[in-house]
Amino acid sequence: MKQRLVYATVSAALIVLDYVSKQWASARLRTGPDIDVIPGLLRLVYAENPGIAFSMFNSGGQTTRWLLVSFSAATAVGVAVMAIRAMPTDWRSQSICALLFSGIVGNLIDRVQTGRVIDFIDVYVGTSHWPTFNVADSAISVGAVLLALELFRKPEPADVKSTSESTQNL
């Protein structure tokens, strides 16, 4: 039980960090000048995205908003179920779930409150820009990469035993 509490705490901390950073970005960057953190590479700018990654589905309509809210909520529930089903000692799965859950919920809060996700981190080189993102997007991206790596990882003998034990417990 203690292990699950650690991952839940990490997830909650990321959700709070995402929320606070978006509130700061909204208050400071919406009307103020952009902040060059590392000139030519990283700056903080205010942006709103009514869609999903890379501004897909960004019509801004109420139907799209609530479809994205519903999808995000269902996905967050699915990730929570995955975390509950994973062994508490399976730090890889628990870490992945904590990252994915916190990122999904962080952006879900924005969608419910305003219908748009606040983004403010702009990574660029010259005139080439990565799409502007936020803390929640970072958590989702890192969690997705780790999940992909985990899917291609060869199970260790202890993992096979843990998987069969967790299946028996269901």
User: Which residues participate in catalysis according to the annotation?
Assistant: 119, 137
- Report the 3 state secondary structure along the chain: CHHHHHHHHHHHHHHHHHHHHHHHHHHHHCCCCCEEEECCCEEEEEEEECCCHHHCCCCCCHHHHHHHHHHHHHHHHHHHHHHHHCCCCCHHHHHHHHHHHHHHHHHHHHHHHHCCEEEEEEEEECCEECCCECHHHHHHHHHHHHHHHHHHCCCCHHHHHHHHHHHHHC
d(CA 44, CA 23): 13
Q: Which of 95, 94, 96, 112 is nearest to 19 (CA)?
A: 112
